[in-house]
Chain A
Amino acid sequence: MSASVVDNTVSSGNSSVAIPTDISGQILDLDEDDELEVFSKDTSTTQTDGSSFNASMQTSPASMINQYKFEEEEEDADTKDIFVTVDNPESHVTAIETYITYRVETKTTRSEFDSSEFEVRRRYQDFLWLKGRLEEAHPTLIVHPLPEKFVMKGMVERFNEDFIETRRRALHKFLNKIAEHPIFSSSEDFKIFLTAGSGELTSHKKQGPGFLSRMGETVKAVAAAVRGVRNRPQEFTDMQEYAEAFSQKISSLDKVTQRIVREQKEYLEELKECGPTYALWSQSEQELAEPLKNVAGCVDNCCKETEEQVKHLNDHLIPVLHEYVLCADTLKMRDELDKAEDRLEWANNALKTDWTRWQKVMRTDLRSAFIDTAERNVSYYEKCLAVWESFLQSQRTDAEGNGNVDSS
């Protein structure tokens, strides 16, 4: 029997039995709320011709920095012009290794693409490569995380079905986040990733750091040249503080949810024994046999519903929380930025706008994940309710049939 239901790494001495009604003591005392005002919608315009960033344009480093143009803050779903899906995992065996590839299908109306439909096969390494390139090219922007390379918990094989499916979903989300990003989606590397044949991709990869990362290095060089700023901008500090706090919270949520799944699974194990016990009992009875069998059936049905519910948590809420745990890690690592970037970069708002955008996306993602979970829980209880009400109904019908006056 569990002695405590509170994960010690999550709680700070809080007992699970006494739910504190006054939680004010636990609220972070932050003045940041005022500072966060800075992160409201801010579309400062660029200073140059404002043309959108295009890999084929050769310009001076300075003007390139200025060319981080700001699209409209809102991502209008109706104007989505690219659809990417990741599916159909297949395993490949060679002399040296075994690996999985995923089908990546793209449908688009964008002019820079030669055709409107593409289908390629990619492996995890390729996704890693893409992410790396985007990070190099846009060191100040937030790149959505990839699922982890290895899963350390338990002895999960790389080729276990659940693992592959979880990974596939995460890869799908990754590509879609890239596609929805105003800047990343126009990346040449992204285009190549989606469209190139495997040979073409390999040779592209071999091209060395590439134009984009050269660009990134140039940014760093420019920044170094203009260095002289001693203090971090306040907004940057606030952002990093938020990132730290957010990371803690989202990790906690991740842990709590995983704990819930564990407890639910253990509950399910016990519940699975109830139904058969009622059924066993019914075999010794005469009058009681029917209601007992009925109850056994009800309990078994509730078991099924519980199983579904656990699966849903595992497949939907947990991956989303996990994604944002990884996101938060990415955010925290941007502390490094401070050394390379500077106020000039900041002033150009690339960071700020992307940050605002990221927050919106985060809000949307987490909100819909929680809403989804709440709805699923409601549905779970509704189904169980129906199961037991039908039992009651059958008992009342029985009673009337036998001419008994039910004392209830």
Chain B
Amino acid sequence: MADSGSEDIAVIGNTDLTPSESENNLKNTMVEKGTSLLKKMEISVAEAEKRTGKNAVNMQETYTVYLIETRPVDAASEETNPVPDSLWRRYSEFELLRNYLLVTYPFAVVPPLPEKRAEFVWHKLSADNMDPDFVERRRVGLENFLLRVASHPALSSDKIFYLFLTEENGWKETVFETGFQAKADSRLKALNATFRVKNPDKRFVEMKHYGDELQSVISQLLRVRARAADRLYGVYKVHGNYGRVFSEWSAIEKEMGDGLQSAGHHMDAYAASVDDILEEEEHYADQLKEYLFYSDALRTVCRKHELTQYELEMAVQDLTSKKQQREELATGTIRTFSLKGMTSKLFGQETPEQREAKLKMLETQIEEGEELVKERNSECDEFVKSAWVDIERFKEQKDHDLRESLISYAIMQISMCKKGIQVWNNAKECFNKM
């Protein structure tokens, strides 16, 4: 394309940062702030492949596997570039890893996986999981997930995570051997139940609301953006019709022919340019989506706090009632209604021996109860402490990342405008020749 327009628009700083570059920046940040794992090891999800095999119910299925490559950090700086260690994993294994981390580190805001099924699609974008573009974006998302875990202060030193990266065979069995599933089931049930907490930590209540708001607003933004992208696609593509008609028209004109024909080519180029533009924007959408899913992880942590707080409160409540029962039994006054109390009133008091036995039992229970309360209290305290640390870490990360995303979005818009200026200036030159 003839470059006719002069670029007299001031370029402020590095406005030509591509989205992949800004993603690299993200990774570099993670490495710089580095955990000990990342200091030792380079991690990447290099490729994706289709496989077919028999599934659990002996049916033929097609699925995608992803190649995880790890390489010692020092090796990269040497002259020789050794072949990295690598293994293949499928999405369900990533899910298993994440579930394990969720249960094992309840206080952590666990990084999310890329979406299982394509959501927020717009017309051109395929909703098919086998679509190569979807697979590619998922590959990037999975790599991101691994890097996030690897840069998390607590999660990065997990053994199962390390094995996920290095041991292809038998990893699944190892995970199941940890018995995390049992904990998972009970925790899950508890999390899904509704319960009222009397005294939750206010900060966690606020965080939960924030998580709700974040999820709602990012969903809305993704929806609106997808619709706008669809429309923008239409605008650009219709200009392709100009190209065709100009070309046909140029054939019947003598003097205008050349000008029309070349203008037509520019219109075709304009129409074609939207594909790249929107592909770049999908990267931006993916960055937003990560934080959409992160909001869920945040809410989960807050919910877990509520759960531990609730369990503490239950234990305290139980202890209090037991203590009360002991008092009543000791003093003979009945303050609380109980069927036993009524029946003993009606049918006569218990024998002193019976009372003695009961008191003893209560004492034991109270002792145990006090232990439990102590336990739960410290559990709660610990949870609040470590969870709040991770939440603060998450907040900082989120603020930094999203700001970078907004900047990269602005850069994309600028790039789109520059292309538009160039095309229309070129078209104008051609029209001049008409």
Contacts and interface: CB of A to CB of B under 8 A. Distances in A.
Given A30-B251, A381-B420, A367 B235 contact: no
B203 to A, nearest CB: 14
A27 B247 contact: yes
Interface string A347-377: 0000000000000000100110011001101
A33 to B, nearest CB: 6
B178 to A, nearest CB: 37
B414 interface: yes
B217 A284 contact: yes
A374 B268 contact: no
Given A267-B231, A389-B10, A292 B243 contact: no
Interface residues of A, number: 77
B238 A256 contact: yes
Interface in B231-247: 231-235, 237-245, 247
Contact of B234 (A2, A287, A367, A393): A2
B240 A19 contact: yes
Contacts of B29: 407
Contacts, number: 220
Interface string A169-201: 000000000000000000000000000000000
Contacts of A264: 235
A256 B245 CA distance: 9
Contact of A367 (B122, B238, B256): B256
B326 interface: no
Contacts of B233: 5
B378 interface: no
Contact of B410 (A260, A284, A391): A391
Nearest to A33: B254
A266 B213 CA distance: 28
Nearest to B418: A385
Contacts of A36: 254
B63 interface: no
B427 interface: yes
Contact of A408 (B251, B256, B259, B407): B407
A363 B431 CA distance: 10
Contact of A363 (B225, B234, B255): B255
A291 B407 CA distance: 9
B242 A253 contact: yes
A269 B235 CA distance: 13
A267 B228 CA distance: 6
A407 B403 CA distance: 11
Interface stretch (B14-22, B54-62, B89-97): B14-22
A14 to B, nearest CB: 6
A284 B213 contact: yes
A395 B234 contact: no
Contacts of B172: none
Given A30-B252, A295-B406, A370 B434 contact: yes
Contacts of A284: 210, 213-214, 217
Q: Which of B5, B237, B242, B404 has the most A CB atoms < 10 Å from its CB?
A: B237
B349 interface: no
Contacts of B361: none
A223 interface: no
A97 to B, nearest CB: 41
Interface stretch (A86-94, A273-281, A330-338): A273-281
Contacts of A249: 245, 248-249, 252
Contacts of A77: none
Given A266-B231, A274-B221, A292-B406, A374 B428 contact: yes
Contacts of A377: 420, 424
A392 B242 contact: no
Contacts of B165: none
Q: Which of B214, B241, B255, B411 has the most A CB atoms < 10 Å from its CB?
A: B241
Contact of A16 (B12, B238, B248): B238
A367 B224 CA distance: 38
Given A27-B248, A378-B421, A295 B399 contact: no
B10 to A, nearest CB: 7
A378 B272 CA distance: 18
A282 to B, nearest CB: 9
Nearest to B398: A288
Contacts of B428: 371, 374-375, 378
B180 interface: no
A272 to B, nearest CB: 9
Contact of A407 (B28, B224, B249): B28
Contacts of A395: 403, 406-407, 410
Interface in A8-48: 10-11, 14, 16-17, 19-21, 23, 26-28, 30, 32-33, 36
B247 A26 contact: yes
Given A2-B234, A267-B234, A408-B404, A384 B413 contact: yes
A14 B231 contact: no
Nearest to A32: B252
A277 B221 contact: yes
A75 B95 CA distance: 77
Nearest to A270: B228
Given A19-B272, A249-B249, A259 B410 contact: no
B217 A280 contact: yes
A392 B241 contact: no
B263 interface: yes
Contacts of A19: 240, 243, 268, 271-272
A393 B225 CA distance: 24
Given A277-B224, A392-B410, A407-B25, A16 B237 contact: yes
A233 B269 CA distance: 42
Interface in B105-163: 122-123
Contacts of B321: none
Contacts of B225: 274
Contacts of B427: 370, 374
B36 interface: no
Contacts of A11: 241, 244
Contacts of A380: 420
B294 to A, nearest CB: 14
A3 interface: yes
Contact of A1 (B10, B122, B404): B122
Contacts of A162: none
Given A260-B239, A378-B420, 9 more contacts: A10-B241, A16-B238, A263-B234, A287-B399, A367-B434, A378-B5, A385-B417, A392-B414, A408-B17
9 contacts: A3-B123, A19-B243, A20-B244, A23-B248, A249-B248, A270-B224, A298-B410, A367-B259, A375-B428
Interface of B: 5, 9-10, 12-15, 17, 22, 25-26, 28-29, 122-123, 210, 213-214, 217-218, 220-221, 224-225, 227-228, 230-235, 237-245, 247-252, 254-256, 259, 263-264, 268, 271-272, 398-399, 402-404, 406-407, 409-411, 413-414, 417-418, 420-421, 424-425, 427-428, 431-432, 434
What are the nearest 6 A-B pairs in CB distance? A267-B231, A374-B428, A381-B420, A385-B417, A270-B228, A249-B249
